[in-house]
Amino acid sequence: MARQKLCRECGVPKLIYKGLTWQNTGIICETKDPEHRMFFAESENLEALFAEIENLIGTSIDKFVIESKSRLTKEYLQKMIPAYVLKLLYLVKPTLIVERMAAIAKAYGYGKVEFVDMKMNTKEGDYLSMTIEHPYSIRFYRGDNLGGMEAGTGRECTTSVKEIGEDRYLLEMWVGTHPPELKEHLNPPVYPLITGNVELEKCPSCGVPLAVAAYRFDMDSGIISHPETGTRMAFYGPAGLDSVFLALEQELGLSIAETIIEAQKRYWKRNPMAESWAVGEKNLKQMLAMRGYGIVTRFESDRDHFSITIQNATVLYLMVGMAKGLFETVMKVDSSIHEWSVSGDGTLSITIRSA
């Protein structure tokens, strides 16, 4: 596979600096599709978060995560690429699709993807398999690929995953209907957007924020990590997470807000970076905007409370959990009281107080 081009100045891969735009609204979006938001965010807590939810509700949430993600990916591809092009690509040069997916996985921090096998027009139908090492989230990765294969073939597909080594997986996909996993067709979340004025210092050559470029982009392993702490990052969309939360609430009739807030809080209290976030409003504003989490428009903090307003916020439960984790880390306490509300224009207000 051809090596990916990197920015000569800062070393960020071309798929990132061409494909994504950091706006002054505090969000990251696909350059070709500004409605499609992305995060540059910690990824190690994804599977841990899913496991924590499973613990609480006592059942696997595989189908919610994989199906929600697959539907989003499929709809996104169908919106961006005409159906006949998708079909033609799949029929004429299917390996090109796998190569492209592997390249995206490396640039986005999803892990190392390698093509294994492809069979077309067999008695059992079309078949595609690949391996992935150190996936950012095996369930999100599986959902993404299922959606990709369904968009390419124009048909329903099925996937399975086997762990075949240390954090190494075989992902197999077949054309063929899978049982309807989710009853309702859930529309992807629509996020309102307000103008903003956040300034991030950017690479003069490619326009990626320097704070993002400071991470190590390992193009062999597909791992993006902090040069000092090793904390792993990936580019993924808030809609994938919000759709999972929505599906869980709608299908199971559960309120999972508190579970997610607690799981996210625990992650942030373990994060070695947490301390460095707590150095004032300007720093926090940068930390949020470089991740595409929105703009900090209000910030108050004293010995007893921490209060913040974020414009253009998404994944609200996760943001509340993060605020709670940061507060408890700085205050060196084990519990706190949280209150939050969101307005119709996507402005999130959070207050954390000592318990």
Site residues (CB under 5 A) for Zn ion? 7, 9-10, 203, 205-206
* Shortest Å, Cβ 179 to Zn ion: 46
Rank residues 113 and 203 by Cβ distance to Zn ion and give the closer one.
203
Rank residues 7 and 274 by Cβ distance to Zn ion and give the closer one.
7
Tell me whether residue 2 is exposed, middle or buried, using C-beta atoms within 10 angstroms of its C-beta: 0 to 12, 13 to 18, 19 or more.
Answer: exposed
Rank residues 195 and 205 by Cβ distance to Zn ion and give the closer one.
205
Rank residues 218 and 339 by Cβ distance to Zn ion and give the closer one.
218
* Shortest Å, Cβ 107 to Zn ion: 13
Rank residues 9 and 275 by Cβ distance to Zn ion and give the closer one.
9
Rank residues 19 and 148 by Cβ distance to Zn ion and give the closer one.
19
Rank residues 102 and 213 by Cβ distance to Zn ion and give the closer one.
213
Tokens of 346: 């996507």
Using CA atoms, how far apart are residues 46 and 177, in angstroms rounded to an integer? Answer: 28
* Shortest Å, Cβ 43 to Zn ion: 22
* Shortest Å, Cβ 209 to Zn ion: 10
* Shortest Å, Cβ 30 to Zn ion: 18
* Shortest Å, Cβ 291 to Zn ion: 18
* Shortest Å, Cβ 235 to Zn ion: 16
Rank residues 16 and 65 by Cβ distance to Zn ion and give the closer one.
16
* Shortest Å, Cβ 204 to Zn ion: 8
